[in-house]
Amino acid sequence: MSKPTLGNPQNTIEILQKYHFNFQKKFGQNFLIDTHVLEKIISAAGITKDDMVLEIGPGIGTMTQYLAEAAGKVAAVEIDKNLIPILEDTLSEYDNVMVINDDVLKVDIRGLVEKENGGRPVKVVANLPYYITTPIIMGLFEGNGPGNKDYGALSLAVQYYADPYIVANVPPNCFMPRPKVGSAVIRLTRHAAPPVKVDNEKWMFDIIRASFNQRRKTLANGLSNSDKIDLPKDVITEAIAKLGKGESVRGESLSLEEFAALSNDLWEKKGR
């Protein structure tokens, strides 16, 4: 076998039947069965033999085969122990893949990268399970264990840490079993430095979270009701007015730049 064999629906079905595999909904298992999508993912990641790739949730090893062909080394973390014997089979031709049977949110990724790649950056390529997309992405960016589940606005956090690019939209029929919603291939290229200047990152994310926790409320009410923010309403309203926004503005309509300005202003008011 010199080319990836999975990705072709027939081969995927054969493997699933051979091992009497039952999909586990709780693990967000929707396996890719479209070679074009797989090729797009590999090419968008620009993987070379100099790269080590971390794959989250290899499933039966479909994308892992493509990654093993392109990368120098692949570490794949899979939570479902029933998939481990299958991965041993589908990846038997590759000596540059290491499968780790664990919950990715519990793996010491920093330690793994240090040990396996001498601390040099790795590329993360994954068809993520929907139910933990946010903690996985935030954990990777923050680099200190699993991220908070409730970022309120994942898109704002993503913009703060990376340059996001939509590579392709992927319809449900590219997966087995078919999910109810469409998916997208997203490339996140980490910024060398954040695009906005923030006096206190944690404070800005506290503000973003407080703004989105109470979606139906105005931004001013959302922030003044928050124990974490703990500032008088007139101080908050004044800071919002400085952005050129009216009293009825909602958190959803603020950009990252506006949240950064608001956060710096309120941090000043807080007396640090």
Please give the residue ranges that form the binding site for ligand SAM (CB under 6 A): 27-32, 56-59, 62-63, 77-80, 83, 103-105, 127, 129, 132
How far apart are alpha carbons 116 and 110 in whole angstroms? 10
* Residue 176 Cβ vs ligand SAM, minimum distance, rounded to whole Å: 8
- Which residues lie below 8 Å from residue 113, measured CB to CB, with a gap of 6+? 52, 54, 119, 120, 121, 122
Closer residue to ligand SAM (CB): 16 or 231: 16
3-state secondary structure of 157: helix
* Residue 39 Cβ vs ligand SAM, minimum distance, rounded to whole Å: 13
Q: Which of 168, 175, 164, 137 is closest to 39 using CA atoms?
A: 168
Closer residue to ligand SAM (CB): 56 or 256: 56
* Residue 141 Cβ vs ligand SAM, minimum distance, rounded to whole Å: 17
Which pair of tokens denotes residue 203?
Answer: 């404070």
Output the CA–CA distances (angstroms, integers) from residue 21 to 55, 74, 83, 92, 157, in the order listed: 21, 24, 8, 19, 37
Closer residue to ligand SAM (CB): 143 or 177: 177
Widest distance between CA atoms in the chain: 69
* Residue 155 Cβ vs ligand SAM, minimum distance, rounded to whole Å: 21
DSSP 148: P
Closer residue to ligand SAM (CB): 116 or 199: 116
* Residue 159 Cβ vs ligand SAM, minimum distance, rounded to whole Å: 24
* Residue 229 Cβ vs ligand SAM, minimum distance, rounded to whole Å: 32
How far apart are alpha carbons 92 and 86 in whole angstroms? 10
Closer residue to ligand SAM (CB): 177 or 195: 177
Output the CA–CA distances (angstroms, integers) from residue 58 to 87, 121, 133, 197, 247, in the order listed: 8, 20, 15, 37, 48
Closer residue to ligand SAM (CB): 58 or 222: 58
- Of all helices (H) and strands (E), which one includes residue 50? none
